[in-house]
Amino acid sequence: MATPESIAAPIENRFGDYNPLMDLLNQLNPSLQNDPVFQKVSGAAGFMKDLIEDPFNYLGGGAGAGAKLAIPPLIAKYNDEIRKLKFNYGREMRNADGGDGQFAIDAANKINRKIKTLTNKRDKAIGNIKDPGERKAAELSLIDIFHGSPKTGIETLMLPKELNKLRTGERFPSSGGVYTVGNIADPRLKSFSEKGSAYRINPDFNKTLDIENMPSDVRGSLDDMLNYISRPSRDTGKNNMPLRRMQYQLDTMLEGGLGSVNKTPAQFSEDIANQLTKMDYDSIVFPPRNFKGEGETILSLNPSNLNIAEEIPFDQLDDFIRAYINPK
C-alpha cells in the first residue's frame, strides 16, 4: 500500500526539462506555479493520468473541479474576472448612451457573452464542492451583502467590544459576530444606517453554517452548550441578567424565539462564535424573519472576511437602493 511519502515522491521526468502539459497549465493559469499544492501534486504519481483524463480539473472547468485543488481561490478568480467584465459592460453601455451607438452596443454584447461563460464555469465549480458549509460560503461570496451603522467613514469592520457595565434595558453587545443582510431593500439596513452610513460588502467566506440545515454534529455541540448554560446554578450572569436569553440566545437560534419561529438572535455571543470557529465555520446564515421585506441575516464571525467595497451615506441610500435594484 502506498504511503503518503511515496505518493508525494517525484516521479521520473519523462519529458526532460520541458513538460508541455505543465507549461500549458502555467500559461493558462500562471498563478498555479505559486500554489504549493499544485507544486507538490504536479510531480506526484498519478498526476499525468489525472491530467490526461480530465485536464480541466486543474483549470477550473472539469468534472472534478473542486476536488484536486482548493476551489475557493479559483472561484475568487472567476469573481474578479466577472466583476471587471461587468464594469467594462457598464462603461460600454454608457458609451452607447453618450454617442458611440451600435459600436459600443456590439462591444457590450460581446462582454456580456464572456460574463455568461465565466458565470457558468463558476457555478459549475461551486456545485462540485462537496462540503455543504463550504458550498454555502462560496455562494454567499458571489453576492454583495450590506451592513448599516450609525458611524461614517468605517474602513474595516470590527467586532463590538464588551461593555464593562450594562444599564437597565441595554443589550449585550454582539461580541461574537458582525450582522449583515443579503438584500439591499431589507428595511433593517435603513434602520441601522440612520444618521450614519450603509456599507456594500464583498464577503470572502470559507465555511458557512446554514442554521436551517445544521449538520448533526454541530447541532449536538450547540445542544450541549445550551444544556450547560441552562443549569439553575448558571441561570444569571452579569447584573443578574439571564444568560440564555440575554447573552447567548441559543434557544432562539435552535428552536426560535419565545412564541415565535424566528431564529435570528438579537445579539451573538463570543462563546458561541468560538465553539463554531473550532469547527472551521466563519459565518452563519439565518432564514428571513416573519417581518415584511426582511431577507436572510448573514453573521460574520471573522470581520476580516468582510471587504468594504463602498460606503453609502444615509442621505443617499434611497437613491442608491433604487439604482441598485433597477440598474440602467
Q: pLDDT tens across 234-267, in order?
A: 555 555 545 555 556 777 888 876 656 688 888 7
Specify the residue for cell string 441610500.
Answer: 317
**Rounded Cα distance, 94 and 243, in Å:** 55
Backbone angles phi, psi at 106, to 5 degrees: -60, -40
**Rounded Cα distance, 56 and 40, in Å:** 18
Q: Is 146 helix (H, G, I), strand (E, B) or coil?
A: strand
Mean pLDDT of 216-232: 83
How distant is the alpha carbon of residue 78 from its chain centre?
14
Which residue would you say has higher pLDDT here, 299 or 173? 299
Binned at pLDDT 50, 70 and 90, residue 225 comes out as confident
Backbone angles phi, psi at 208, to 5 degrees: -115, 135
Among 15-29, 158-172, 262-276, 299-313, name the most confident range: 299-313
pLDDT at 14 over 70: no
- DSSP secondary structure letters along 270-282: HHHHHHHHTTT--
**Rounded Cα distance, 94 and 328, in Å:** 9
**Rounded Cα distance, 151 and 55, in Å:** 50
The reported pTM is 0.65
Q: pLDDT tens across 148-173, in order?
A: 999 999 999 988 765 434 443 445 56
